[in-house]
Amino acid sequence: MRIFAHAYGNDLSASTRIRFSRVLRAMDDVEVVESKGHPEFADLIYIQKRADTFTLSLAKYANDNKIPLVYDIDDAPGQCAATELENRMIEMATLVTVDTDKKMYAFPNAGNKIRVVPDCIDYWDEKPVYRVRDTIQVVGSFGRKHSIEAAVPIFKMFRESITDLIMFYISDEVVDPLKGIAAYIPWDIDSMKTDMVKVDVMIAAQTEDIKGSLRSNNRLIASMAAGIPTVVNNSESYSKTLHNASLDDLVITQSNFGRVIHIIEKKNVREFISVNASHYAWQNHSPKVVATRLHDVFMEALNGA
């Protein structure tokens, strides 16, 4: 199968890594061509997330030449592209892929075209060496500013409950409410993996609103894949992921924080969490697993959806 693929960005974009480059590299029996020009001799066109003048012309080319088109959206409606342009892309697509079950219902104009393809594990090509320490000494988080802001209440709970903790967050911006609570480390793709495995407990949080409920679990999965015990706030995609991994006790609320801390302070519990979290992530979100799912979508589009 020869795929003409057009990405949202480059590998500095998490979205492009976990829904495009890492996934396509894991596919068998496909030849991927990336270009700015119109495809020649392509069996299928795959467009990740963009809805602009170029991708609209590419979609029209696909329709005019009867080439199946798969269009991927991993944002809320209208978040990444103007709604009108996004709707036109959906209309011309053979199939539309999204990253969460809930997002299936966020694009009613897509009808029965939508297929769910989860995000693949970010950063790791294989499980890293991660050692569980006797006590919790370092707590961290990573993500865009809105995600770190959502994690502020949990950072404060840790600071108030455990003395002498080292706490930091990795982000593209300073989050003012964490000044004096957690150190800021600027995000850098080359040092990210080294920084992540320094923590004893990772915090993953999303805003607990409609927009947050539509976001995927990609940061949580990256932590779980490394075997890092990760606590989350009660956001939909994160709590659902931990439920599926039989790790419900790691969902933190204002009322249960003391109980969660009591559980994860035990080294043997964190060792259990580490093993089970990693197993779940690699079994369900490895690049190979996600590539197989996306390949199935490509084949369905080729066969007329």
pLDDT digits (tens, 9 = 90+) for 116-168: 999 999 999 999 989 999 999 999 999 999 999 999 999 999 999 998 999 99
- pLDDT above 90 as % of the chain: 71
Is pLDDT above 90 for 282?
A: yes
d(CA 146, CA 101): 22
**Cβ(216)–Cβ(243) below 8 Å:** no
What's the CA gap between 89 and 85, in Å, rounded? 6
Domain for residue 128, yes or no? no
Distance CA 175, CA 258 (A): 25
| CATH at residue 230 | 3.40.50.2000
98 domain residue, yes or no: yes
- Residue 26: φ, ψ to 5°: -85, 0
Q: What is the pLDDT of residue 187?
A: 92
What tokens does 6 get?
A: 């057009």
Among the listed ranges 40-49, 148-157, 206-215, 265-274, which one has the minimum average pLDDT value?
Answer: 206-215
Quick check: 151 and 204 in contact, CB under 8 A? yes
Q: How much is the pLDDT for 21?
A: 92
Whether 277 and 232 map to the same domain: the answer is: yes
Whether 127 is in a domain gets the answer no
Q: Is the dihedral of CA 219, 225, 226, 227 positive or negative?
A: positive
Examine residue 204 and state whether it is found in any structural domain, yes or no. yes
Residue 30: inside a domain, yes or no? yes
Closest C-alpha to 99, from 23, 19, 21, 17: 19
Section 57-61 average pLDDT: 92
Together in a domain, 102 and 46? yes
Instruction: Please report the pLDDT score of residue 12 as a whole number.
Output: 85
Q: Are residues 275 and 293 in the same domain?
A: no
At 187-210, the pLDDT tens digits run 998 888 899 999 999 999 998 776
Count of Cβ atoms closer than 10 Å to residue 80 Cβ: 16
Number of neighbouring beta carbons within 10 Å of residue 209: 11
Indicate if 144 and 56 belong to the same structural domain: no
CA distance 134 to 46: 47
257 and 292 inside one domain? no
SS3 assignment, position 4? strand
Whether 197 is covered by a domain: the verdict is yes
264 and 293 assigned to the same domain: no
End-to-end CA distance of the chain: 16
Whether residue 164 is found in the same domain as residue 281: yes
At residue 32, does pLDDT exceed 90? no
The rounded mean pLDDT for the chain is: 91
Instruction: Name the domain count of the chain.
Output: 2
pLDDT reported for residue 295: 96
CA 266/CA 274 separation, integer angstroms: 12
Same domain, 109 and 157: no
Has this prediction a pTM greater than 0.75?
yes
Residues 185 and 236 in one domain: yes
Whether the CB-CB separation of 99 and 107 falls below 8 Å is answered with no
Where do runs of H (alpha helix) occur along 65-173?
83-92, 145-161
**82 has pLDDT over 80:** no
Place of tokens 């329709």: 63
Which pLDDT does position 36 carry in this prediction? 63
Same domain, 213 and 227: yes
Q: In terms of residue numbers, what domain contains 278?
A: 138-285
Domain membership flag for residue 126 = no
Whether 125 maps to a domain, the answer reads: no
Confidence at residue 27, expressed as pLDDT on a 0 to 100 scale: 93
> Looking at the structure, do residues 162 and 274 belong to the same domain, yes or no?
yes
Q: What is the mean pLDDT of residues 13-34?
A: 89
Q: What is the pLDDT confidence band of residue 38, given thresholds at 50, 70 and 90? A: low
What is the model's pLDDT at position 120?
97
Residues 292, 177 within the same domain: no
| Structure confidence by residue, pLDDT tens digits, 205-242 | 998 776 777 788 999 999 999 999 999 999 888 999 99
Residue 295 φ/ψ, nearest 5 degrees: -60, -40
